[in-house]
Amino acid sequence: MNASCPICGQALHPTQVHALDRLVTGDGPFTVAECRDCSFGLTIPQMSHEQLARYYSSDYYEGFYEHSKVGISNLPYRARAWVRRRGADRRYRRAPYDLAGVTPGKVLDVGCGSGDLLAHFRDRGWETYGIDPGAASVAAARRRGAQVHEGTLEDQPWEPGSFHLITFQHSLEHIVGPVDALLRARALLAPGGLLIVDVPNWRCWQRLLFRNRWFHLDLPRHQQHFSPRSLQRLASKLGLQVRRTDTTSTAISTSYSVHYVLAGRWTPGWELWLSYALGVLLLPLALLGDRIAGGDCCFIVMELVE
């Protein structure tokens, strides 16, 4: 293998990760090469934005989140919606999004989706902006009051130094050329501004346990795989000061990994609901494992000091 790590330049080595696209097409298997120096993973083959488009079908987000069923009166759907709302509220009230003592300004969320995170910041006095390539996501985020650009950082319309906070909430792993994307984001930061990256943790115990059926693997949409160590290396490469780095837990992801163990791929219906039930039973053990060995996601908060 001739590929090198885009973060530290060291050689990438093959791993035993070989997984299908379990969510949309069933294509594969795809694999991941790893940098042993900074614990960064790279999906093989790397794809262009155009090649990746087929792995985000028109009903990709609907198939996963089932937004059209939010208002359904069925008890299981109401319970799931409640868990998701509580999970999002809990997630945004803790690191890295609590930001105690930070004066509100302009915030840009890269890959903003339907604008959940931006709504959190709006309610706390921030002026909210977003970027997303999906028209449906852009429309949803705009309905929640955000000013959203449909596109990417490559064609964004803002002037350098426009933002006091830029966030990548589970989006950087999807972006082809993550270092270039972060450099573009850095140029949009005002002096003293913060850059937050929140991604799945490639080095977590759940990935080692569930292996090719780990939910957060999500090949080939996740083109990159980060660890706390690789995020710290990124900060150095960007010339940003690290304010904090840590891991967090995503409570429902265990259910989804169990679902892939049982069903092989995403299968709405009774198999998915059985996985939810098993995930609830396993949740205390999963949270204990996260407390001991680190959570299934990791983040870094960086500051532009000039």
Q: Please state the φ and ψ torsions of residue 216, each to the nearest 5 degrees.
A: -70, -5
Per-residue pLDDT reduced to its tens digit, 252-283: 889 999 999 999 999 988 898 899 899 989 99
In sequence order, which residues have a C-beta less than 8 Å from that of residue 128 and are 6 or more positions away? 107, 109, 115, 118, 119, 121, 122, 145, 146, 147
242 vs 78, which has greater pLDDT? 242
Q: Give the pLDDT of residue 19.
A: 96
Neighbours of 68 (CB within 10 A): 9
pLDDT given at position 67 = 44
Distance of CA 181 to the CA centre of its chain: 15
The per-residue DSSP string of 197-236 comes to: EEEEBTTSHHHHHHGGG-GGG-TTT--EEB-HHHHHHHHH
- Structure confidence by residue, pLDDT tens digits, 14-68: 999 999 999 999 999 999 999 999 999 999 999 998 899 899 865 555 445 444 4
Among residues of the chain, what percentage have pLDDT more than 70? 89
Q: Do residues 40 and 226 make contact, with C-beta atoms less than 8 angstroms apart?
A: yes
Beta bridge partners of 201: 226
Nearest to 132 by CA among 162, 108, 163: 108
Residue 112's closest CA among 104, 102, 120, 124? 120
Q: Among 88-92, 96-100, 172-176, 227-231, which stretch is predicted with the lowest mean pLDDT?
A: 88-92
Report the range of poorest mean pLDDT among 58-67, 138-147, 205-214, 227-236.
58-67
Confidence of residue 186 (pLDDT cuts 50, 70, 90): very high
pLDDT at position 70 over 50:
no
Task: Check pLDDT > 90 for residue 205.
Answer: yes
pLDDT at 74: 65
